[in-house]
Amino acid sequence: MAPEIRRSGVQLSPGAYFNFKGDKMNLIFLGPPGVGKGTIAKEVVKEKNIPQISTGDLLRAAVKKGSELGIKAKGYMDSGKLVPDDLVIDLLKKRIKKDDCQEGFILDGFPRTIPQAESLEGEAKIDKTMNFKALNETIIQRLSGRRTCKKCNAIFHITNIPPKVEGICDKCGGELFQRDDDKPDAIKKRLEVYQKQTAPLIDFYKEKGILADIDTEQPIPGIVKDTLAAIG
Ligand code: AMP
């Protein structure tokens, strides 16, 4: 078990201690859908004690709830298009104001357009952007085999990360399902949308000198190691 560090009677893990010193860590995980941003973010969360904020998860929760935002977002999401900037920006701004973001956050799936990145500038200083890279055929293989838990959003893959029991989440026993937008037509659309609207963010962050390329054509532990090394 990881040793604990005591400060003012509060028990903190080593990762939290790092943050406690005031080294706020605001990170962006950038990359095409299916590259593994969510999977790697969940591993980094364990090390760094900062939350993973997935706008995709937030939007899916809104759709499930049937909220006004969910009703507006559903059609875009099902067809693999981006939800309009104003809706997502508003959602994200509210989320990063929550208490658990005081020491930093990992943005997983935001920003996805230049206007989203520009709006973020006024809200938070970004320390690093990880640019997760993979070949197109790898991405299609990852997306089409991905299975998600209905209850806890854990991510599996029919061959790369198989659950112990087929169709059942290892973590909470929830039912695994294939997202509608992980089906072939939506995958094609999402990859086109990524190239057109999101890939320009690579240069946006490169010019700021805060971009780190991460090669995801390797087993997950290696990707996690490279990501943690790039975070520093
Ligand atoms: P994800 O789970 O990140 O792949 O997101 C699933 C879907 O949610 C996307 O295909 C979009 O329709 C929508 N979405 C998630 N994040 C954003 C964003 N930052 N901007 C616009 N739409 C988003």
Mutate to test the pocket of ligand 1, among 30, 72, 83, 143 (most ligand atoms within 8 A of CB): 83
Nearest one of 38, 78, 87 to 60, comparing CA atoms: 78
> Which residue has a Cα nearest atom 15 of ligand 1?
56
- Torsion sign (Cα): 137, 140, 144, 147: positive
Q: What digits encode the pLDDT tens for the residues 102-143?
A: 999 999 999 999 999 999 998 999 999 999 999 999 999 999
Q: Is the CB of 181 under 6 A from ligand 1?
A: yes
The pLDDT value recorded for residue 20 is: 41
The pLDDT value recorded for residue 16 is: 38
**227: number of Cβ within 10 Å:** 24
Structural domains of the chain ordered from first start: 25-136+193-225 (3.40.50.300)
> Which residue has a Cα nearest atom 5 of ligand 1?
56
Q: How far is the CA of 58 from the centre of ligand 1 (A)?
A: 9
What count of Cα atoms within 13 Å lies in the side-chain half-sphere of residue 195? 6
The pLDDT value recorded for residue 180 is: 87
Q: What digits encode the pLDDT tens for the residues 38-78?
A: 999 999 999 998 999 999 999 999 999 999 999 999 999 98
Q: Of all atoms in ligand 1, which is nearest to the CA of residue 113?
A: 20
